[in-house]
Homo-oligomer: A and B are copies of this chain.
C-alpha cells in the first residue's frame, strides 16, 4: 500500500484552518480512501431530493445518518435509520432524521444527512486508533456490539503495528473463536482485518494530530472488511515531545553512574542516625574499592576520609554525587556537579513532587539538563551495584553477588527486595530506587542492563511509566536477550487512585499496560512475592529447548495440583511416547500411574526416584521437569535432595541443562531439603505445589516472547 499522504495532509490542514477538531463524514471518507481503508459508498445530502438521487445511484438498501459536528453519538439522537429500501422511504427518513436531530439539540449546526450504502452481513468488529497518555499512539481491536461494550473484550498494540502484530490481536481477545465462525456463520477474512489494523496504525503514526480514530462497527466477512462508521478527531495541540538523550549518551552516563570509580557524598556526616552518615558507612562497610569524597562545608575528615567544602574542589574525577542534603539546597549542588562534570546525581532527599513541590522538582530537572547531569530520584533510598561492592544507600548494605538487577519506584518495595534477597540468599547485580523518576527511569536502566555482563535478569516494580513508548521500545529489544519482569502497581482503579496520591502520576488503563507489556516481551508479575520469586527463579533456570513438560511425582495428589497449575501457567504436559512410558514402567510399581504425570507412588525407595529422574533428564524429548516429592520414611527429604542434586549435577556435567523445579510436601524437614537444593541451583519450594510451576511458567513466557521456542 502506498498511502496518499498529500491528500490526508490537505484535509487535516483544512480542518485545522477551520478551527475544527472533528472531521466530517466526507473528510473521514477521503482520508480512508487515501489509506485504502474500505468504506461503503456514501454522500452527504443537504436536501431531500439530493438524498434520493444519491441513494438511487448507489442502490438499496441504504442507511441515513445525521451529519453534524455537534452530534457525536448519532444513534442516541435518533439520527440513524437503517434498511431504507426505496426512494420514498429515503424521503420520509430524511425528514425524520432532521426532525429528531433538531429535537435532540435545537442549536446544533446540521450539515445534512449522510446517505450510505448498507453493508449486508458479516461479523461486527471494532478497529480504532487512540492516543494514550502513557504509550502514545495505539491501535485497538475488539468485537463489536455488546462484546466490547459489556465484556470489554478489546486489545491494544503500539502503533504502527506490523502485519504479524496486527494479526496477533485477533487471537488476543476472549471471543477470538467467533472470528472463526460459530453456529453456521463463515470465518472472517483475517488477513483483511489485520491489514485494516495495520493501515490505521500507519495513518495515526504518519499524522500524529489524529488523536482518535474510531471505526465502529467494521463489518468483517469472508470477503473482506468494510468500515461502516468512521469517526476521526484531531488534537492540533499535542503534548511536547519528552526530552531524551541518545542511546549512546544514556549508556555512557549510565555506565559511569552504575559502575563509578569515584563517589562524592554531599552532606556527609559524622552524626550517627543522619542519612549522610549512613551513606558513608554503607560505602565503607560495603567494601567499595573506589574513591570516597565526603563533601561538608567545614569538616576536615569524616569516617577517616578527607572532606571537601564543595564537589568542585575534589581533586580527581567524580562519577556520582550522592545527595544527603535538604531539598532546598539540591539545585545549587547539582549546578556544582555540572561544573565538575559529574555525570550522575543520586537524589536521596525527599520534599519534591511527592509532597506537591512540583515547581521545585521542575527546577532541579532544568538545572540538571543545563549542566548535563543525570538525576536518579529524588525521594529514593539510593542503589546498590554489587559487582563494584557499591552500596550507595542509607539502608542496610547488601553484597550477595548475582545476576538479577531489580528496581523499585517505592522505598518500601526496595527494602522488601533487600530483605527477600538476603533471606533467600538471592544474588543480585543491582538494586535501584527510582522514586519520583524526575530523570533516570526504567528505560535508562534497561539500556544499561542490556549490555551489563553482570546482569542476566531484570525485575522492576513500576507505579507509572513516564514514557511508556520509550520503555516498550527498549524492553522489546532487551527482553529478546534477558528476561524482564514487571510488577505494575496501581493495576486496579482503587490501586490507581492510591498511586495518584503517592506519586502524582496518572496511571494508564491496565488493559493497555497488559497488552503493551506483553507485546514488549515483558513477563508481568501480579504480586510483590511473584516478582521476587520470578527474579530468583529466572536467574537460576536455564532456557527450555521446547514445550514438553514432564511431571514426575511420588504423590498422586501433588500430581493433580501440579497439573492444574500447568494449565493455569500455560505449560504443556508432554504426550507420553510409548517407548518412554514403557521405560518408566520398568521402575515403578504396576499400579503407579503411567502417562504424564508419572506417579511413582509414595512407597518407593531412593533408587526409584533416582532412576526415573535420570530417565527424564537424559531423554531429549523431555524439555522441562517438574518434581512432586512426598516425604516418606523410605525416602526422607534430605535423601531425596541429595539424590536429586547428584542427578542434576551429573546431567549438567554431561552438558544436559534443562529446567528442573520441585515441589516438596511433608514435615518440616522438607524446608532444609529445599534449602539444600536451592543452594545447588535447583528450584525447590516447600508446602506448595503451584509456586515451582508458576516460576517455570514465567521462564516459558519469556522463552516464547524471545523467540526461543
Q: Is A473 part of the contact surface with B, judged by Cβ < 8 Å?
A: no
Known: A146-B175, A591-B356, A668-B419. A412 touches B558 (CB 8 A): yes
Residue in B closest to A557 when the chains form the complex, CB atoms: B410
Q: Which of B497, B498, B687 contacts A532 (CB 8 A)?
A: B687
Assess whether A247 is interfacial by the CB under 8 Å rule: no
Q: How far is the CA of A492 from the CA of B469 in the complex (A)?
A: 37
Among A24-32, A203-211, A561-569, A699-707, the stretch that binds chain B is A561-569
- Binary per-residue interface labels of chain A (541-585) against chain B in the complex, 1 for a CB within 8 Å, 0 otherwise: 000000000010111111111111111100001000000000000
Residues on the B chain within 8 Å of A560, using CB: 410, 463, 489-490, 495, 498-499, 502
Are the C-beta atoms of A420 and B150 separated by less than 8 Å?
Answer: no
Q: Give every chain B residue within 8 A of A671 (Cβ-Cβ).
A: 419, 423
Pick from B419, B422, B557, B633: contact of A489, CB under 8 Å: B557
- CB-CB under 8 A from A688, the residues of chain B are 527-529
Nearest neighbor of A493 in chain B, beta-carbon distance: B567
A411 touching B557, Cβ below 8 Å: yes
Query: Which chain B residue has the least Cβ–Cβ distance from A634?
Result: B273
* Cα–Cα distance between A559 and B500 once the two chains are bound (Å): 11
The interface residues of chain B lying within 8 Å CB-to-CB of A422 are: 667-668
- Bound-state Cα–Cα, A669 to B422, Å: 10
Nearest Cβ in chain B — how far from A520, in angstroms?
A: 21
Q: Which chain A residues numbered 456 to 475 have a C-beta less than 8 Å away from chain B?
A: 461, 463
The distance in angstroms between the C-alpha atoms of A401 and B644, with both chains bound, is: 35
Task: Give Cα distance in the complex from A566 to B493, angstroms.
Answer: 11
Cross-chain contact of A554 among B354, B408, B412 (Cβ < 8 A): B412
Identity of the chain B residue whose Cβ is nearest the Cβ of A637 in the assembled complex: B419
**Nearest CB in chain B to that of A595: its residue:** B501
Q: Is the CB–CB distance between B497 and A687 below 8 Å?
A: no
Instruction: Compute how far the CA of A273 lies from the CA of B591 in the bound complex, rounded to whole angstroms.
Output: 23
Residues on B with C-beta less than 8 A from A590 are 355
Q: Is the CB of B146 within 8 A of A667?
A: no
CB pair B687 A498 closer than 8 Å = no
Interface residue? A630 (CB, 8 A): yes
A491 to B560, CA, bound (A): 9
Task: Say whether B146 contacts A528, CB under 8 Å.
Answer: no
Q: Are B529 and A667 in contact (CB under 8 A)?
A: no
Q: B416 near A492 (CB under 8 angstroms)?
A: no
Residues of B within 8 A of A408 (CB): 557
Complex CA gap A196/B399 in Å reads 68
Shortest A187–chain B CB gap in Å is 13
Shortest Cβ distance from residue A602 to the other chain B in the assembled complex, whole angstroms: 6
Whether, in the assembled complex, A167 has its beta carbon less than 8 Å from a beta carbon of chain B, the answer is no
- Residues on B with beta carbons closer than 8 Å to the beta carbon of A175: 146, 150-151
Near B by CB (< 8 A), chain A positions 392-424 give 395-396, 408-413, 415-416, 418-420, 422-423
A502–B411 touching, CB < 8 Å:
no
CB distance from A227 to the nearest CB of B (A): 19
Q: Residues 43-87 of chain A: 1 if any B CB is under 8 Å from the residue's CB, otherwise 0? A: 000000000000000000000000000000001100000000000
Contact status of A561 and B489, CB under 8 A, knowing A418-B667, A566-B494:
yes
- Give the residues in chain B near A278, CB-CB below 8 Å: 633
Distance in angstroms between the alpha carbons of A602 and B559 in the assembled complex: 45
Is there an interface contact between A501 and B593, defined as CB atoms closer than 8 Å?
A: yes
Residues 331-370 of chain A, each 1 if its beta carbon lies under 8 Å from chain B, else 0: 0000000000000000000100011100000000000000
User: Is A452 interfacial (CB 8 A cutoff)?
Assistant: no
| Nearest residue, chain B, Cβ from A416 | B665
Give the complex CA separation of A461 and B562 in angstroms. Answer: 14
Partner of A665, one of B177, B415, B630, B667: B415
* A670 contacts the other chain (CB 8 A): yes
A454: interface (CB < 8 Å)? no
Are A490's CB and B665's CB within 8 A?
A: no
Task: Report the bound CA distance from A690 to B530 in whole Å.
Answer: 10
A149 within 8 A of B: yes
- B412 and A495 within 8 A (CB): no
Is B178 in contact with A146, judged by CB distance below 8 angstroms? Answer: yes
Flag whether A686 is at the interface (Cβ < 8 A): yes
Instruction: List the B residue with the shortest CB-CB distance to A665.
Output: B416
Give the complex CA separation of A551 and B501 in angstroms.
14
Q: Is the CB of B412 within 8 A of A557?
A: yes
Interface residues of A in 143-179 (CB under 8 A from B): 146-147, 149-151, 174-175, 177-178
Q: How far is B666's CA from A411's CA once the two chains are assembled, in angstroms?
A: 9
Candidates B410, B487, B564, B602; contact of A558 at CB < 8 Å: B410
Whether A184 is near chain B, meaning CB under 8 Å from some CB there, is: yes
Contact partner, A556, options B396, B410, B554, Cβ 8 Å: B410
> Please, how many angstroms separate the alpha-carbon atoms of A187 and B221 in the complex?
31
CB interface residues, A 624-677, toward B, < 8 Å: 628, 630-631, 633, 665-671
Report if A689 contacts B (CB, 8 A): yes
Contact digits for A224-257, partner B, Cβ 8 Å, 1 yes 0 no: 0000000000000000000000000000000000
Considering only CB atoms, which chain B residue lies closest to A667 in the complex?
Answer: B419
A355 to B671, CA, bound (A): 31
Bound complex: CA A669 to CA B494 (Å): 30
In whole Å, how far is A384's beta carbon from the nearest beta carbon of chain B?
13
Contact residue among B563, B589, B633 (Cβ-Cβ distance under 8 Å from A273):
B633
In the assembly, what is the distance between CA of A487 and CA of B463, in Å?
Answer: 33
A439 within 8 A of B: no
Q: How far is the CB of A144 from chain B (nearest CB, A)?
A: 11
CB distance from A654 to the nearest CB of B (A): 31
A17 adjacent to chain B (CB < 8 Å): no
Bound Cα distance from A492 to B569, whole angstroms = 11
A599 within 8 Å of B (CB atoms): yes
CB distance from A515 to the nearest CB of B (A): 18
CA distance A670 to B423 in the complex (A): 10
B498 & A556 in contact (Cβ 8 Å cutoff): yes
Chain B residues with Cβ below 8 Å from A75 are 183-184
Contacts beyond the supplied A490-B560, A498-B563: 4 A-B pairs with Cβ under 8 Å: A151-B174, A412-B556, A495-B564, A499-B560
Pairs A–B under 8 Å by Cβ, sample size 25? A75-B184, A146-B183, A150-B178, A150-B182, A273-B633, A278-B633, A355-B589, A355-B590, A410-B557, A411-B557, A412-B553, A412-B628, A416-B666, A419-B665, A419-B668, A420-B687, A423-B686, A423-B687, A487-B561, A491-B567, A492-B568, A498-B560, A503-B556, A527-B689, A529-B687
